[in-house]
A and B are shown apart, each in its own frame.
Chain A
Amino acid sequence: MTINIILGVSLVLAAAWTVMTARLLRSVIGLALTSMILTIIMFKLNSPLAAVFELSVCAGLISAIFISCISLTQRLTDEQAATKQKERFSKFWLLPVILVLAGVALYQVHIPLDFHLQAAPSESDVRNIIWNLRHLDLIGQIAILLAGAFGVVALFKD
């Protein structure tokens, strides 16, 4: 249980840092960190396959996309970064307060869990569900990947 609490708290901390830090690059690193913590949580929640996806795609690919975007757009000097940090702090000081208050408040609440909770062993395999039972979703994914490919072509070509 202790490890779960640590994981939960660090997840929120990483997300808060992502939002509050002034430099976009650090923000992206914070996002990757959040992803990694989420991956560990997913492992703990018996979802290894989704966890691997989260790690490789969200922590890896999305960070790469963001970093290339940032390196193509913005360059801040140290001074600018410092003033920006102040500006950000004035805008975002409320966030940790809200987070702590909400966290404490929610921790006090005991929701009546009237739906049946049972962590029974899963009834079938993930691969079976993806490849055999949900063909429609596969078609959707192919379509969206195609759309993404056309989009990248349309938006980047000169």
Chain B
Amino acid sequence: MTNELPQVFWLFSIGAILLLITGFYCLIMTYNLVRALIGLEILTKSVTLFIILAGYVTGRMALAQALAITLIIIEVVVIAVAVGIVLCVYKNIKSIDGRLLRNIKG
């Protein structure tokens, strides 16, 4: 068990890093507002996995779980609000394509 620990850690770290790449790729390439939120979700999943891993490896499972649970709750609120905004956008312009939202130049 203890011998396997670094391997398990590194394996799932790779998984989490690949999730990060996927999420950022999605965020950069997409114009669809909902899909951007899905990209964010993937990023958050990756971070959750990182926190759980950190807790597992250092033996502070309880703290890591407490943090992960809090994180999940905050994530769902943010997504709910974001979806609300997307729906309002849809109501106004009948589309969820981000390219149509270029009234404000950043």
Measured CB to CB, the residues of A under 8 A from B are 1, 4-5, 8-9, 11-12, 15-16, 18-19, 24, 27-28, 31, 34-35, 38, 41-42, 45-47, 49-50, 53-54, 57-58, 61-62, 65-66, 69-70, 72-74, 91-92, 94-95, 98-99, 102-103, 106-107, 110-111, 113, 115-126, 128-130, 134, 137, 140-141, 144-145, 147-148, 151-152, 155-156
Q: How many residues from B make CB contacts under 8 Å with A?
A: 68
Contact of B59 among A102, A113, A120, A126 (CB under 8 A): A120
The residues of B that contact A57 with a CB separation of less than 8 Å are 72-73, 75-76
**Contact in complex: B65, A126 (CB < 8 Å):** yes
Residues on B with beta carbons closer than 8 Å to the beta carbon of A69 = 34, 83, 86-87
Q: Determine the main DSSP class of B at the interface with A.
A: helix
Q: Is the CB of B66 within 8 A of A130?
A: yes
Asked whether A99 lies within 8 Å of B21 as measured between CB atoms, the reply is yes
Within 8 Å by CB of A124, from B62, B80, B84, lies: B62
Question: Other than the known A41-B12, A74-B34, what 14 A-B pairs have Cβ atoms closer than 8 Å?
Answer: A12-B18, A45-B52, A45-B53, A50-B64, A58-B76, A66-B34, A69-B34, A73-B87, A98-B25, A99-B22, A102-B21, A118-B59, A125-B62, A144-B73
> Are A145 and B73 in contact, CB atoms less than 8 angstroms apart?
yes
Query: Once the chains are docked, how many angstroms separate the CA of A152 from the CA of B81?
Result: 7
Q: Is the CB of A49 within 8 A of B65?
A: yes
B83 partner, pick from A24, A35, A66, A91, beta carbons under 8 A: A66
CB contacts (< 8 Å) of A102 on chain B: these are 17-18, 21
Contacts of B61 in A (CB 8 A): 46-47, 122, 126
A-B contact count (CB 8 A): 222
- Expressed in whole angstroms, the Cα–Cα distance for A90 and B3 within the complex equals 44
B52 and A24 contacting across the interface, CB-CB below 8 Å: no
Q: How far is the CB of A56 from chain B (nearest CB, A)?
A: 9
14 contacts between A and B (CB under 8 A): A1-B8, A4-B11, A12-B18, A15-B23, A19-B35, A45-B8, A47-B64, A53-B69, A66-B37, A99-B21, A106-B17, A122-B62, A126-B69, A156-B87
**How near does chain A come to B30, taking the closest CB pair, in angstroms?**
8
Known: A27-B35, A117-B9. A62 touches B74 (CB 8 A): no
Which residues 1-29 of B sit at the A interface, judged by CB distance below 8 A? 1-2, 4-15, 17-19, 21-23, 25-26, 29
Say how far B88's CB is from chain A's closest CB, in angstroms: 6
